[in-house]
Structure 1
């Protein structure tokens, strides 16, 4: 997920920075779209993430988020047996709009 696409736009990346039973930190960067959707979905199924009581989603390096990727994130948040407390930090305004459009703001706090 760290390669450049032929269009010159940086491919998106999602990294699990840290995780334990208390919290998990995910860092998002680049462009998350259909080209990286499968990898995004796989990373969101990480058992360490699913066991954490809270998630911090750091999006300050995220340039673009398409609807399919936002819905994948929403599905991951909603599928955890005990839903985590989720904070989304650093998302640019267009990304915040996409997150709100899919309803993530009902499950997460979006902070700047």
Structure 2
């Protein structure tokens, strides 16, 4: 009977959920690992019409383990087409996530609270 070597745990696939979206506020919760495979779902979620009506966006990222540069740029594209009055706040992001968001330029259009 062959014994399988321990395989490294596969990272949890990333997700983005809209937990609140009304005419004033939108709260999105990010979790897992957002990589190139998650980009289509991320972009689709960020195009939700309810987000266009919100005056402020809160991006809760405490559950996000990692985001790759493609997804960070996708996020940047989405927030730059948000209404001019939209205030965007990133909350709870880990150091590596913040580094990637800054590399993509998200910090130029959003407040990053760690």
For normalisation by structure 2, the TM-score amounts to 0.89
Q: Which residue number corresponds to residue 45 of structure 1?
A: 47
Q: Return 5+ residue gaps in structure 2 as ranges.
A: 1-8
Q: Which residue number corresponds to residue 94 of structure 1?
A: 96
Q: Tell me if the contact between 1:77 and 1:83 (Cα under 8 Å) persists in the aligned partners.
A: no
CA distance in 2, matches of 1:71, 1:63: 17
RMSD between aligned alpha carbons? 1.1
Query: Secondary structure at the residue paired with 2:37?
Result: coil
CA distance in 2, matches of 1:98, 1:92: 10
Partner residue of 1:80 out of 79, 82, 89: 82
Q: Return 5+ residue gaps in structure 1 as ranges.
A: 1-6
Query: Secondary structure at the residue paired with 1:98?
Result: helix
For normalisation by structure 1, the TM-score amounts to 0.91
Q: Tell me if the contact between 2:55 and 2:83 (Cα under 8 Å) persists in the aligned partners.
A: no
1:56-89 CA distance string (max 9 Å, x none): 0000000000000000000001112435100000
Q: Which residue number corresponds to residue 24 of structure 2?
A: 22
> Which is greater in Rg?
2
What is the deviation of 1:22? 0.6
Q: Tell me if the contact between 2:26 and 2:51 (Cα under 8 Å) persists in the aligned partners.
A: yes
How many matched pairs?
A: 106
Q: Tell me if the contact between 2:14 and 2:31 (Cα under 8 Å) persists in the aligned partners.
A: yes
Runs ≥4 in structure 1, deviation > 4 angstroms? none
